[in-house]
Amino acid sequence: MNIIVTGGSSGLGASIVRGLAAQDGNMVYFTYSSSVDAARELEAQYPNAKAIHCNFADEASIQALLNEIPTLQPDVLINNANGGIHKDHFYRTNPEVFLKGFELNVMPTLRITQEAIKVFRKKKFGKIINIITSAVINKPPAGWAEYVANKAYLLAMSKVWATECIKFNITSNSISPGFMQTKLTSDTDDRIIESMIEGHPLRKLLTTDEVADAVMFYVKASQQINGTNLVINAGMDLVG
């Protein structure tokens, strides 16, 4: 299968690329923004992995990727990239931040998905897999308004794609992981990490490889599986 993974050179994206590229028959196209060396290393390690530069903050860079999607002939699109989190309480966040966050993290994902769907419709086959966050389930953490709202928007879109596209044999599913230690969360204080481990039902944090395994399940899954959102947080919302 031809698979596009956005944000595939670090964290969860890199785990997904490694897992998929290790399987025969897959050609994995992954985007990177700043992690140039990591992207080159993945390419060197896996002949069936190809890096494509795409910076969601740069219109020309997004347009170049959009133009390339028909040539890549994807069967699967994994929307994983995230341009960053603005952490602050809602009441003191400048409204511009919400607009900018939407433009950076939501709009490119929508545009990439539109181009992929055009290819999928011609093939009468396709899979869209969206990386959301367990923060959209039940209680959103304080200070993450911009991030959680954008992810909730993408979760709603995932259901829209699932309903609009299934008649063309195109599915859309989401995965909502709990906290993982990656570049995105690298500013998290050690004491907070310790308290998260203590409060975790398994007393250990989720890893990117565990979430990548779930992504690989969706890649192989029957098209009967559509419109789902797999929450991976050890049942924390039930237990805690």
Ligand X SMILES: NC(=O)c1ccc[n+]([C@@H]2O[C@H](COP(=O)([O-])OP(=O)(O)OC[C@H]3O[C@@H](n4cnc5c(N)ncnc54)[C@H](OP(=O)(O)O)[C@@H]3O)[C@@H](O)[C@H]2O)c1
Q: Which residues bind ligand X (CB under 6 A)?
A: 7, 9-13, 32-35, 54-57, 80-84, 131, 133, 177, 179-180, 182-185
Q: Closest CB to ligand X among 78 and 117?
A: 78
Compute CA 117 distance to the chain's CA centroid, rounded to the nearest angstrom.
17
* Least distance (Å) between residue 169 CB and ligand X: 26
* Least distance (Å) between residue 220 CB and ligand X: 20
> What are the beta bridge partners of residue 126?
170
Q: Closest CB to ligand X among 49 and 223?
A: 49
Alpha-carbon span 214 to 124, nearest angstrom: 24
* Least distance (Å) between residue 62 CB and ligand X: 8
Q: Closest CB to ligand X among 48 and 181?
A: 181
Widest Cα–Cα separation across the chain? 51
* Residue number with the smallest Cβ distance to ligand X: 11
Q: Which helix (H) or strand (E) holds 178?
A: none
Q: Closest CB to ligand X among 55 and 171?
A: 55
Start-end of H helices in the chain: 11-21, 36-45, 59-72, 95-105, 107-123, 145-165, 190-199, 208-220, 236-239
Task: Tell me which amino acid residue 235 is.
Answer: G
* Least distance (Å) between residue 140 CB and ligand X: 12
Spatial contact of 111 and 59, defined as CB atoms under 8 Å apart = no
* Least distance (Å) between residue 239 CB and ligand X: 18
Q: Which helix (H) or strand (E) holds 200?
A: none
Q: Closest CB to ligand X among 59 and 164?
A: 59
